[in-house]
Each structure stands twice: as structure tokens, then as C-alpha cells.
Amino acid sequence: MPNPHIHPFDVHAHHLTRLRACVPACLRVALAMVARGNRTNQDSIASMGGIKPLTEMLQSSRPDGHHNTPLTQANACLAIQHICRHHTENQNAVAEYGVLGQLGTLMRHANNSTGVVEAEAAGALWSLADGNDGNKVSIAGAGSIATLCNLLGSPLERAQKHAASALSSLALGSTPNQEEATRLLVGLLLNASPDAKERVLKSLWRMVSENPEQKAHIAKSGGAENLVALLKDGTQSGKQYALWALSLAVDPTYYPIVAERGGIHPLVQAVGSKETLRMEQAAAAMAKLAAAGDDARALIARAGGIEPLVALLDGEPADGSLLAQQDAAAALAELALLKEAKMAIDRAGGISPLVALLCAPVTLPPDATEEEAELIIGWNSQGKRFAAAALAHLSVDDEAGSAKQQVQHSPPSEPQRMKNGRLVGGAPKLSKAEVIAEAGAIVPLVNLLDGSRGAEAQAEAAGALMALAASASNRQSI
């Protein structure tokens, strides 16, 4: 009866001696199997000198003058994979024999048509990179990241899985590798076959999920030109990735490329879509674009971006999303710095929903976790901050002087009526600061001065009140 306390694959020195003396493929597979998930056997194989013969089998020719067949190379890769899995000492020992570069060469120039050698070489790189920062640097330096990205398009499922796992290991915690892999993978999304594109996307999203603290860097690494091309002409899932990436990556350096490549129109369309996530991401991208300067603001206004942003302020189009409201207000705060956009915000009826956002209470679901509650409160506070900033910018009325003159010289007996924030029926025109005050902005702005919504919201509220105070009647109300 077998001893239940002995692992079925435990090996002893005389077994290893026999294995080293024989080179048939079945014994190389046996080495892989006895090492798989067995730390004791991994140690024994290394201590008995089993690593060096395996590394020699990766080369096209052997020391005895004969040539290694593709099957020999593939099985040697398989054995290395399992001998080095979660074993730092064995990973380093294999690397010292120069194997990391050899494996990359095998993937690129394997002399077989089945893809098996490439698959097993990718599996070995996966194992060698896992948790080993030094090996990650060496593998990337050998040019293997590009090869692994291309291997996602292999017809062999094992090659696809090993390539995806190797890329995951190489990217984990390594900013340079994340950058290179993302740039190459996003490029493949434009040119690969439909099936390969889905595998490429899975690798990208896997990298994002496994490296949450670097997600903004990963997003930016796709490159503005490729991301805009993907947003315009990619598959539906490719467009979703591009929109997510742009929502995080856009900055003043991105703006010229986004504008030149026609990226603003699809962003405007996404803001006006009926999908909450798309609307949130597009609003975030628009807010960042609008911060790039007056040229960007003018293009957004001319592309029709203001109306859907104003519509997002009440939360209804995006199913009550506070994040969409926050980013829409942030975009409008930037856009309101431009006279042309300021007039468009006014025409779109933007003042009332901005004031309503200032007044919006925090509503927490009964089952909200502490983390969820913190997010909701943060979005609410940031929404108020950006609404205050937008109203401050809108309050600066280029025609205020002429409006005040109209007020001073209007006949007191002339009937006055309010309609959509404006005096009509022959009545004098109010300044924008007075219109905003009439909409009820002063009280919530004063309330923000207590700092309970954060220092940023407090500062924006103070700025808005100063802008509103340009009107004598507003000064009295404040």
C-alpha cells in the first residue's frame, strides 16, 4: 500500500540520475510533471544539476554536434516552466544560463509549423517572470513583449493562454512593461483579426484590474493617435476601451492630436448617448479637454458639446449618476471661460441646473458600504465645487455695463416679467450675475463657505460670491 504521507511525484536521487542519463522526450515531460506544484522536487532537480541540460536543449544544436528537434525544445520549455514556477532560486539559476533571451528567440524563429514551441516558450517566460523583477527587466530587454503580444493571435489556444499570462506577469508592478505592452496591444486592436482583438482586449483589461494604482498610466500608454482611431473605427468593445482610456488620459498634450484626428465629435456623441458608463467617461474626457485652453473650448462648443453636458447636470439622462453630474459641471466650468461657450451655456438653460446642483443633498442608499458612502459624498461635494466655478465664470458678463445702463434708464412704469432667467416684455436686461442670483444661487454658495464640502468647494464658492457681488443688489442679498 502506498505511503499516504509521500507525494505521488516525490523523486529520489537515483531516479534523477536515471532521468539525467536519458534524453527521450517522455523523460523531459516526466521532469516537468514531477516538478509541477512540488517544491521538494523543484529543489531536488536543481541540486542534482538538472537545469543546465534543459537549457542546452533550447538551442538549435547540442554540444555533441547533433540538433535539438522542435519537440525537444518544446518539452525542455515545459520542464523549465514547472521547475521555476514560484521558485525564485530556480528562476535566477535558469536566467544565469542566458535562457531568457533564448526563449524570446524560440518564440520568434521556432522551426515548426504547429506553434507548440512558441506556446511552451511563452509558458516558460510566464513562469520565469512571475514575481521576479530582475527577470522582468531582462525579458523585456530581449524584445519578448512584442512577440508575446503577437502570439495572442496564434491559432493554438495554449499559445494564446501562455502569452496572456506571460504578459500579465511581466506587467504586474512594472510601469515600463505596462507602457510597452499597452502601446503594442492598443495598436493590435486596430489591425488584428476579430478573434485576436477580443483576446487583446482581455489582456488589456486584465492588466488594468491587476494594476489598479497604475490604471491612469496604462490608459495614457495607449497613445492619443491610436486611442482616437479606436474610438472612431474600432469594434464596439474596442471603442469602450478607447473611451475609458481617454477619460483618464486626456491632458493638454493629448488635445492637439484629439482635435486633429477628429476625436471631439465621437466624444460629444458619447456624452449624449443613453448608456450611463459611456456618458460618465465621455464627460470626464470632455472636462479634461476643455481644460486644455480656449481652442479646445471653442471646438467643443462648435461640435455641439454644451447641450448634452447641460442635460447631464440634473442626472436624469445618466440614471442619476453623480459622477456624470460632477464631470459635466467640471467641463462647463472650463467652457464658461470662453465667451462663445458662455453664451451657448446660457442659451441651453445651464444656469438653473447648475444652481440645482449647488442645492443637491447627499442621499445615501440604506445598504451603502463605508467606501460607497465616501464616493457618493465626494461626488456630491465635487459637483458643488464645479457648479460654483461654472457660475462664477458665467457671472462675468461682458455686456454687464450696457445692461446696467439699460436698468438705469428704463421707465419705472414699464411692466417686467421673468422668463427662463431673463426679463421680458420690454423690461431692461439683467446682468448675468443678477440672473444667477435670481435663480437662487446666493444661499447655497454662502452655505459652502463653512468648509463642510471641502476646501476646494469653499474656495470656488467664495470666488462665485465675489463675482456675483459685482451687482449692488446682489451685494445686499449676500
Tens-place pLDDT, residues 275-298: 999 999 999 999 999 999 999 999
Band of pLDDT at residue 250, cut at 50, 70 and 90? very high
Task: State the average pLDDT over residues 374-402.
Answer: 86
Q: Which range, of 66-75, 90-99, 247-256, 453-462, averages the lowest pLDDT?
A: 66-75
Q: Is the pLDDT of residue 252 over 90?
A: no
pLDDT for the residue 434: 94
By the 8 A CB rule, do 131 and 84 touch?
no
Higher per-residue pLDDT: 152 or 26:
152
By the 8 A CB rule, do 297 and 334 touch?
yes
pLDDT for the residue 21: 41
pLDDT for the residue 31: 65
Task: State the average pLDDT over residues 218-228.
Answer: 97
Higher per-residue pLDDT: 25 or 306:
306
Higher per-residue pLDDT: 91 or 318:
91
pLDDT for the residue 30: 62
pLDDT for the residue 32: 66
Joined together, the cell numbers standing for residue 416 give 417686467
Higher per-residue pLDDT: 13 or 271:
271
Closest CA to 94 of 77, 108, 72: 77
Q: Which range, of 73-77, 225-229, 318-322, 447-451, averages the lowest pLDDT?
A: 318-322
By the 8 A CB rule, do 188 and 145 touch?
no
Burial class of 14 by CB neighbour count within 10 A (0 to 12, 13 to 18, 19+): exposed
pLDDT for the residue 427: 55
Name the one residue in this structure whose C-alpha cell is 492588466.
207
Give the percent of the chain with pLDDT over 70.
Answer: 85
Q: Is the pLDDT of residue 6 over 50?
A: no
Task: State the average pLDDT over residues 210-229.
Answer: 97
Cα separation of 441 and 107, whole Å?
65
Band of pLDDT at residue 22, cut at 50, 70 and 90? very low
Band of pLDDT at residue 48, cut at 50, 70 and 90? confident
Band of pLDDT at residue 117, cut at 50, 70 and 90? very high
The one-letter amino acid at 206 = R
| 362 phi/psi in degrees, rounded to 5 | -85, 125
pLDDT for the residue 67: 84
Q: Is the pLDDT of residue 413 over 60?
A: no
Q: Is the pLDDT of residue 358 over 80?
A: yes
pLDDT for the residue 462: 95
Task: State the average pLDDT over residues 221-226.
Answer: 96
Task: State the average pLDDT over residues 135-164.
Answer: 96
By the 8 A CB rule, do 128 and 91 touch?
yes
Cα separation of 472 and 406, whole Å?
15
pLDDT for the residue 14: 47
Q: Is the pLDDT of residue 13 over 60?
A: no
Spatial neighbors of 312 by CB under 8 A, at least 6 apart, are 271, 279, 283, 318, 324, 325, 327, 328
Joined together, the cell numbers standing for residue 176 give 515600463
pLDDT for the residue 27: 55
